[in-house]
Chains A and B, each alone.
Chain A
Amino acid sequence: MSTIDKTATVPAPRGGDHTGPLLEVRDLHVEFHTRDGVAKAVNGVNYSVNAGETLAVLGESGSGKSVTAQAIMGILDMPPGKIPQGEILFRGQDMLKMSNEERRKIRGRKIAMIFQDALSSLNPVLSVGYQLGEMFRVHQGLSKKDATARAIELMDRVKIPAAKARVSDYPHQFSGGMRQRIMIAMALALEPDLIIADEPTTALDVTVQAQVMDLLAELQQEFNMGLILITHDLGVVADVADKIAVMYAGRIVEQAPVHELYKRPAHPYTRGLLDSIPRLDQKGQELYAIKGLPPNLLKIPSGCAFNPRCPKATDLCHTEVPPLVPVTEQDGTELPGRKSACHFWKETIHG
């Protein structure tokens, strides 16, 4: 099933007369105040998602992709977490300025999240039917009986066999793939406008990964939802995403429509990531790996955070932080949606 060319079949946007993007993150900063100092997890992230669009956020562990998502959901541990500046606009309204109660009402109903490890993310002592039904009971005030009926519908929806018989089973009685389907069902329950999926397939084996991603893409198209897909798996991204944001040390270092990024990366870090994918035609050769380790967030290197690991780093990279600038063709024609935060993006993309 193709999920890329869905623009033709997009249903009318749902709810509200807001015209801009569904979600817009502007100059978001997140810090964690620890005993050892201030860890700067997110340092000025900008991205936006429209209804029906899939944004993939790519990056290593500790690059700030999950923290950004948690800030959007409002489930950061604060303290130690802190958001010193930035805006998170949902349908044009800044969620960071809302009261706790207003934000709670958005959570689950308008923006839902799918977590990585479904076994630990589902409550072990409550039946899946209860946990699914809870969405309807709390947000819509349904009775226990009606909520269970809706829970069964949801389980059917995400293709769990014998939903009716399994509704009172507990999470540990399901397989990994089925558990992740339950997570997806829970996120879908109230047909939210936006779903944030934080590495939804990392804990699954490859065949199940594909099934779960297909299901997610299918449901997203059906409900015309925005999707933020957080992952470090480049293979998953290529199939479902519309655009990609690559994060490094809490900043977006490159932004591009999905296939252009694979064809012509405009940042050495992205290039490194793409080069480290195992390829059949290079069988027997040594696999490429980016040198070094991700930076310590307590002391991010000066200038471009990637400079200690970058094969092309110069003195300029040690002193100047490269801004995220639009990328153009060699003749100066614009490449829509492409941005790079490298002093030498020209050499990287056209070199």
Chain B
Amino acid sequence: MGRYVIRRLLQMIPVFFGATLLIFLMVNVMGDPIAGLCGDRQCDPATAAQLKKEFGLDKPVWQQYLTYMGNLFTGDFGTAFNGQPVTELMADAFPVTIRLTIVAILFEIVIGITLGVITGLKRGHPVDTTVLLLTLVVLSVPIFVIGLLVQLLLGVKWGWIEPAVSPEAPFDELIVPGLVLASVSLAYVTRLTRTSIAENKRADYVRTAVAKGLPRRRVITRHLLRNSLIPVVTFIGADVGALMGGAIVTERIFNIHGVGYQLYQGIVRQNTQTVVGFVTVLVLVFLLANLLVDLLYAVLDPRIRYA
């Protein structure tokens, strides 16, 4: 197990360099970063040239990348368009996004798995049909439509929530945005759990558990759920990474100053440092989340052993 973890961690190194290089090149293609600094007006050519020299933008791209990586390892992620260090932006943005992700994951686990178990056990029942239809609606409607609709109805029309989240973004203000962020994954978790439960319900070991005279509750929680949740846990684990980076739309709609918001600003202002810095951290989060899922998999299913 230990050797497996070390191997996986070592595998992350090339992935990390590959991913950052790719992002670096892509951001370079985006356009002239100096133009962004001057806002909407045309830059003075002399100032532009001077700024280029100052930021090292006159050098070839590979040299820029090496300089950037060199700085990265000393903890210097560069400065954002407003002169703030990117690390400071991260310190502000990540706690907010982590809170949002926690809310979203909790919704996925509590609502998604509960609905999945109910529908899986009652397949063909009206409850099952209704939930299935609802998940289909959620899956087919784009998330920004859901988000804007919820904001319009709950926030503006009925005034149940504040339409925009305050900069501190405490947990209670993140409930509705978290639900919106979780909606698509929640529908997936419901369907995944449902299929898994319905399939395992007829498994021989469940029949054995019934034949042992165990109460129905115990059969479901200890025997049926334990096996059925393995694929679901895998999905939710991988989703942690996806939710953290994929909150751009939700964070924009509810004006949450998290990772997605900063990334969006970085892209709009053509600020290489912000975009590459944030994406690099997200890549790391994603890799670690995946490693955790793989390790969890071995804990949940003893037939899987890593050597």
* Cβ-based interface call for A40 (8 A): no
* Min C-beta distance of B223 to chain A, whole Å: 6
Question: Judging by beta carbons under 8 Å apart, are B212 and A126 in contact?
Answer: no
Q: Contacts A107-B210, A115-B208 hold; do A123 and B227 have CB atoms under 8 A apart?
A: yes
Interfacial residues of chain A within 307-350, with CB under 8 A of chain B in the complex = none
Q: Which listed residue (B203, B211, B300, B302) contacts A108, Cβ 8 A?
A: B211
Residue ID in chain A nearest B227 by CB atoms = A125
Chain A residue contacts of B207, Cβ below 8 A: 75, 115, 121
A132 to chain B, nearest CB (A): 10
Q: Is the CB of A125 within 8 A of B226?
A: yes
Closest chain A CB from B26 CB (angstroms):
43
Q: Is residue A188 contacting chain B, with contact meaning CB distance below 8 A?
A: no
Contact of B301 among A106, A113, A124, A127 (CB under 8 A): A124
Q: Which residue of B lies closest to A101 (CB)?
A: B215
Q: Report the separation of the CA atoms of residues A124 and B226 in the bound assembly, to the nearest whole angstrom.
A: 10
Q: B211, A75: Cβ atoms under 8 Å?
A: yes
In angstroms, Cα B203 to Cα A112, docked, is 18
Q: How far is the CA of A204 from the CA of B175 in the complex (A)?
A: 56
When chains A and B are docked, how far (Å) is the Cα of A190 from the Cα of B214? 13
Would you call A120 and B205 a contact (CB within 8 A)? Answer: yes
Nearest residue (CB) in B for A110 is: B213
Contacting residues, chain A, for B230 (C-beta < 8 A):
125
B7 contacts partner chain A, Cβ-Cβ < 8 Å? no
State which residues 190-220 of B face A: CB under 8 Å. Answer: 202-205, 207-215, 218
Q: What 1/0 mask marks residues of chain A from 204 to 247 whose CB sits below 8 Å from any chain B CB?
A: 00000000000000000000000000000000000000000000
Q: A134 at interface (Cβ–Cβ under 8 A)?
A: yes
CA distance A123 to B113 in the complex (A): 21
A123 to B222, CA, bound (A): 10
Tell which of A124, A170, A186 touches B212, judged by Cβ atoms closer than 8 Å. Answer: A186
Please report the C-alpha to C-alpha distance between residue A284 and residue B184 in the assembled complex, in whole angstroms: 68
Residues of B within 8 A of A97 (CB): none
A193 to B302 Cα, complex, angstroms = 34
Residues of the A chain whose Cβ atoms lie less than 8 Å from the Cβ of B41:
none
B contact residues around A125 at 8 Å (CB): 226-227, 230, 300-303
Most chain B CB within 10 A, of A108, A123, A139, is at A123
C-alpha gap A134/B209 in the complex (Å): 10
Residues of A within 8 A of B210 (CB): 75, 107
Complex contact B205–A124 (CB within 8 A): yes
The interface size of chain A toward B, counting residues with CB under 8 Å, comes to 28
Contact with A along B228-246 (1 / 0, CB 8 A): 0010000000000000000
A175-207 residues at the B interface, CB under 8 angstroms: 186
* CB–CB B208/A122 < 8 A: yes
Across the interface, B209 reaches (CB within 8 A) one of A77, A109, A123, namely: A123
Q: B215 near A138 (CB under 8 angstroms)?
A: yes
Most buried by A among B202, B204, B211, B301: B211
A27 at the B interface (CB under 8 A): no
- Could you say which of A105, A120, A127 contacts B203, with CB atoms under 8 Å apart? A120
Instruction: List A contacts of B227 (CB < 8 A).
Output: 123-125
Q: How far is the CB of B28 from chain A (nearest CB, A)?
A: 49
Decide yes or no whether A135 CB sits under 8 A from chain B.
yes
Whole-angstrom distance from the CB of B219 to the nearest CB of chain A?
10
- Chain B contacts for A107, CB-based, 8 A: 210-213
- Given A120-B203, A125-B301, 6 new contacts (CB under 8 A): A75-B207, A120-B204, A122-B205, A124-B227, A125-B303, A138-B212
What B residues does A77 contact at CB under 8 A? 202
Query: Quick one: which of B204, B222, B303 contacts A172, CB cutoff 8 A?
Result: B303
Q: Does A153 contact B (CB under 8 A)?
A: no
Cβ < 8 Å to B, chain A residues 118-151: 120-127, 134-135, 138-139
| CA gap between A106 and B207 in the complex, in Å | 15
In the complex, the chain A residue whose C-beta lies closest to that of B208 is A121
25 example contacts (A-B, Cβ-Cβ < 8 A) are as follows: A73-B211, A77-B202, A104-B214, A106-B213, A107-B211, A107-B213, A108-B211, A115-B207, A115-B211, A121-B204, A121-B205, A122-B208, A123-B208, A124-B227, A124-B303, A125-B302, A126-B222, A127-B302, A134-B214, A138-B213, A138-B214, A138-B215, A170-B303, A172-B302, A172-B303
Q: How far is the CB of A309 from chain B (nearest CB, A)?
A: 31
Q: Is the CB of B223 within 8 A of A123?
A: yes
Q: Is the CB of B212 within 8 A of A135?
A: yes
In the complex the two chains form, is B208's CB within 8 Å of A139's CB?
no
Shortest CB-to-CB span from B20 to chain A, Å, is 39
Q: Which residues of A contact B211 (CB under 8 A)?
A: 73, 75, 107-108, 112-113, 115
A108 touches B303 (CB 8 A): no
Q: Are B204 and A134 in contact (CB under 8 A)?
A: no
